[in-house]
Amino acid sequence: MNQDRKSRQQSQQQQQPQQRAQSQDPKKGGQQPSPEGKPQQQMGEGSYEGTRDYNQRTEEYLKSHDVKSDAEAARPRSEQEAREMKEAEREGRSHSKGEH
């Protein structure tokens, strides 16, 4: 029994350096380098590059577009469309893990 446990521990110890090397590889969900060259922790489904790109595009949009006009154009054009939009929002929220 002790022999079995020892061989499992040795096997796990041999695998650990490989796992650490893989966790550092950004393509495998590991750490990503920052602009300063320091590793950053990749978390969740997003990526730092994707977040920077989204933030930059959002900032450019807000500077170059009339947001009030865009919001006005997105308003429902009838009571029926307003009800449909509310129902679609309710349906979408029912699938989320966050706010309901």
User: Residue 65's pLDDT is what?
Assistant: 95
Residue 33 in any domain: the answer is no
**pTM tops 0.75:** no
Residue 21 in any domain: the answer is no
Residue 69 in any domain: the answer is yes
Residue 9 in any domain: the answer is no
Residue 79 in any domain: the answer is yes
The Cβ of residue 2 has, within 10 Å, a number of other Cβ atoms equal to 6
**For the chain, which residues score pLDDT lower than 70?**
1-44, 99-100
User: Residue 97's pLDDT is what?
Assistant: 79
Number of domains making up the chain: 1
Residue 23 in any domain: the answer is no
Residue 89 in any domain: the answer is yes
Please give the Cα distance from 78 to 65 (Å, whole number).
Answer: 25
Q: Residue 61 belongs to what domain range?
A: 50-93
Hey, what are 61's tokens? 């949009």
- Of 29, 63, 62, 61, nearest to 48 by C-alpha is 29
User: Residue 58's pLDDT is what?
Assistant: 96
User: Residue 20's pLDDT is what?
Assistant: 45
Residue 87 in any domain: the answer is yes
What are residue 72's phi and psi, to 5 degrees? -65, -40
Please give the Cα distance from 60 to 36 (Å, whole number).
Answer: 24
Please give the Cα distance from 28 to 22 (Å, whole number).
Answer: 7
